[in-house]
Amino acid sequence: MAQVIADRRDIDFVLYEQLKIDELTKVDRYKDFNKKLFDMIITEAKNIGVKELLPTCAEGDQEGLIFDNGQVKVPQSFHRAFKLLLEGEWTSLMEDPEWGGQGLPVVISQAAGEYLFGGNWAVMNYAGMGHGTGKMVEIFGTQQQMDTFLENLYTGKWGGTMLLTEPEAGSDVGALTTTAVKNADGTYTITGNKIFITNGEHDLVENIIHPVLARIEGDPPGTKGISIFLVPKIWVNEDGSLGEPNDVVCTGIEEKMGIHASCTCSMTLGGKGQCRGLLLGDACQGMKIMFYMMNEARLGVGFQAFNYASTAYLYALSYARERIQGRDLEAGKDPNALPVPIIRHPDVRRMLLQMKAYVEGMRSFVYYAGQCLEREALADGEEERAFYKGFADLLTPLVKAYCAQRGFDVCVQAVQVYGGYGYIKEYPVEQLVRDCKITSIYEGTDGIQAMDLLGRKLGMGKGRVFINFLGEIQKTIAMARESSELDDLANELEIAVNKLGEVAMSIGQKAMSPQFKAAFSFAFPFLEVMGDVIMAWMLLWRAALAQQQLTAGPKKKDIDFYDGQVKSAEFFIHTILPTTLGKMNGIVKGNGSAVEISDAAFGG
């Protein structure tokens, strides 16, 4: 079976035809780049992803991790792959060259990431997780902290983490009990226990820098009193050399449903009373700093889920083309009819087209969110910057949660295409289902994302950000109507967009009323219907561009691709969007049974 983990033709379509990323080379920041260089970077990412990372993926899943006396050993094959990632400088594609980065646009980094993370997410995460730690240091740290930590984090020489969750606090971060006491030399003594720490301990790097949420002795309770500290696994001297091991101990690793080769650690800080850390930013600024990293991480989780979905779809498509089983329905009861590839069967074609539509819609969506971040950074004035920041903030919980849900659904559908073979470890889609499930849970469960969308993001700018969002979809509808072939699709999406506006107003008002609990019981269904409308928007946008090419007369090799864009939009808008409208009606009705039912009435 062909080892294809991303669709390069579709990547190029989104980059250059939909988002016109090559226009960034006209901006001073990217004047040293050109389309040819972008293409070379993505091609090389494909080479290392397919040839070096992918062969270690199933092996790492089966071999797992070894925990022994506080130390974690990763699968042996990861060491060579990790070394190649560092040598190729793949860990810091977007970072400032001053700190060892490549200075690439966000969306080009995403395109390369499709192959790198698609090859083996665990290896790439070990190599690249220092980005989030480093970004917090770059924005909020002192010059000394930047000089000490940044380049080593961005280049992957040192690892990074995030020590947030505690056994009793869970998602209630304000209930944490980890404490910090200031020392005479300006450092802090940290004491506490943390759980669910990705990459908290492993043998791929010489040092790991832990950002730790803790409360300084005497500071207020709740989230307002939380600070954040840099706690190295091995203390770093003022000259940058490594000193003595810090009092940070991995006490165990979790046996998980999926991502078996990614170490999820329990950590004890200050078990001997000798854990030292450096305050990052100001005291009681921990949540502000942490959420800067968290928002990036949530976009990354949505990308991770999409990545699994893309790989699963391509595996299923390849299998459906190769697997010979059953006669074509057109053959009727002819006993002499030969069996055909299962891609010829209508139900399999339905599953594949549904997967295709979601994968293509998610690709455009996550790249579009990345472009919003890019435009925010490159904005000429505060008004433009605020516009794109608002979009990025609004879309973040949707990228995370919607892609996590639909990405998992695509992986499950891939197993269905394989049939019984999809359920066994011999074939890759079984692992993808297990690995993908985590994306709806970590970095804030999808329910938390939905509460964030309803409680915070929907009302940003007194609703102006959401109104601007609807306006952008209307622009795509107008563009689609330039092609008469797309009138029906444009009309159907316009109905859904207008309905979404009504639903948002209804649920938003209820969320501020005495019925707010009932409203929040519909927060996740609202996130899902908004995500469906975004998928329809992205797919209609694609179809409009494709129809323009079909009308103009494309090259013969591109006809099927452009026709496929139109068919994806047709399928989603005519088949899935009607169900979305039904869900919207349910949200408006706002039945309160979920919050009215007594605890005892659940049974059990």
- Last residue in a domain, options 239, 269, 284: 284
Residue 511 covered by a domain: yes
Which tokens belong to 596?
């009215």
Per-residue pLDDT, 223: 87
Rounded Cα distance between 565 and 280, Å, is: 48
For the chain, what is the domain count? 4
Q: Which of 138, 443, 492, 570 is catalytic?
A: 443
Residue 58 covered by a domain: yes
Rounded Cα distance between 332 and 342, Å, is: 16
Distance of CA 590 to the CA centre of its chain: 30
Residues 484 and 342 both lie in one domain = no
Rounded Cα distance between 52 and 57, Å, is: 10
In sequence order, what are the beta bridge partners of 267? Answer: 194, 250
Domain containing 583 equals 446-597
- Last residue in a domain, options 284, 315, 350: 284
CATH number of residue 267's parent domain? 2.40.110.20
Residues 247 and 341 both lie in one domain = no
Distance of CA 377 to the CA centre of its chain: 20
What confidence tier does 175 reach under pLDDT thresholds 50, 70, 90?
Answer: confident
Average pLDDT over residues 163-192: 86
In whole numbers, what is the pLDDT of the chain averaged over residues?
95
CATH number of residue 53's parent domain? 1.10.540.10
Rounded Cα distance between 312 and 299, Å, is: 20
Per-residue pLDDT, 331: 87
Residue 153 covered by a domain: no
Q: Residues 183-197: pLDDT tens digits?
A: 999 999 999 999 999
Question: Nearest 5°: phi and psi at 159?
Answer: -90, 165
Tell whether the model's pLDDT for residue 173 goes beyond 70.
no
CATH number of residue 382's parent domain? 1.20.140.10
63 contacts 35 by C-beta, under 8 angstroms: no
Q: Residues 511-552: pLDDT tens digits?
A: 999 989 999 999 999 999 999 999 999 999 999 999 999 999
Rounded Cα distance between 543 and 476, Å, is: 10
Residues 450 and 578 both lie in one domain = yes
174 contacts 222 by C-beta, under 8 angstroms: yes
Rounded Cα distance between 84 and 56, Å, is: 13
CA dihedral 450, 455, 458, 462 (to 10 degrees): -170
Q: Residues 309-333: pLDDT tens digits?
A: 999 999 999 999 999 999 999 888 8
Residue written as tokens 């013969």? 556
133 contacts 199 by C-beta, under 8 angstroms: no
- In this structure, which amino acid lies at residue 99? W
Beta-sheet pairing, 159-160 with 208-216: parallel
- The sign one gets for the Cα dihedral 292, 298, 303, 304 is positive
Residue 575 covered by a domain: yes
CA angle in degrees (0–180, nearest 5) for 248-253-255: 170
Per-residue pLDDT, 2: 53
Which tokens belong to 372?
């919003």
Residues 552 and 467 both lie in one domain = yes
Distance of CA 452 to the CA centre of its chain: 17
DSSP result, 436-484: HHGGGTSSS-HHHHHHHIIIIITTGGGGHHHHHHHHHHHHHHHHHTTSG
- Last residue in a domain, options 421, 444, 467: 444
Radius of gyration of the chain (CA): 25
Residues 469 and 590 both lie in one domain = yes
Which tokens belong to 106?
């966000």
Per-residue pLDDT, 537: 98
Residues 524 and 583 both lie in one domain = yes
Rounded Cα distance between 595 and 140, Å, is: 41
Residues 94 and 32 both lie in one domain = yes
90 contacts 221 by C-beta, under 8 angstroms: no
Among residues 11, 440, 173, 145, the alpha carbon closest in space to that of 21 is found at 11
Q: Verify whether residue 443 is a known catalytic residue.
A: yes
Q: Locate the DSSP E strands across 295-450.
A: 324-327, 339-341
Segments in 64-167 forming alpha helices (H) = 77-87, 106-119, 121-128, 130-140, 143-154
Residues 343 and 407 both lie in one domain = yes
DSSP character for 419? G
Rounded Cα distance between 214 and 289, Å, is: 13
512 contacts 462 by C-beta, under 8 angstroms: no
In sequence order, what are the beta bridge partners of 189? Answer: 181, 276
Rounded Cα distance between 581 and 355, Å, is: 20
Q: Residues 222-268: pLDDT tens digits?
A: 889 999 999 999 999 989 999 999 999 999 999 999 999 999 999 99
Residue 353 covered by a domain: yes
Residues 123 and 173 both lie in one domain = no
Among residues 416, 302, 319, 317, the alpha carbon closest in space to that of 361 is found at 302
Average pLDDT over residues 121-148: 95
Q: 464-480 and 382-418 are packed helices; what angle lies between their axes, rounded to 10 degrees?
A: 60
Per-residue pLDDT, 106: 95
Per-residue pLDDT, 169: 64
Residues 326 and 383 both lie in one domain = yes
Q: Residues 567-584: pLDDT tens digits?
A: 999 999 999 999 999 999
Average pLDDT over residues 475-503: 97
Residues 310 and 344 both lie in one domain = yes
Tell whether the model's pLDDT for residue 65 goes beyond 90.
yes
Residues 100 and 163 both lie in one domain = no
SS (H, E, C) 519-534: HHHCHHHHHHHHHHHH
Among residues 57, 287, 77, 26, the alpha carbon closest in space to that of 162 is found at 287
Residue 198 covered by a domain: yes
What confidence tier does 172 reach under pLDDT thresholds 50, 70, 90?
Answer: low
Among residues 598, 372, 568, the alpha carbon closest in space to that of 486 is found at 568
Residue 120 covered by a domain: yes
Residue 148 covered by a domain: no
Rounded Cα distance between 238 and 241, Å, is: 7
Helix, strand and coil in the chain, % to nearest 5: 65, 10, 25
287 contacts 162 by C-beta, under 8 angstroms: no
Tell whether the model's pLDDT for residue 130 goes beyond 80.
yes
433 contacts 412 by C-beta, under 8 angstroms: yes
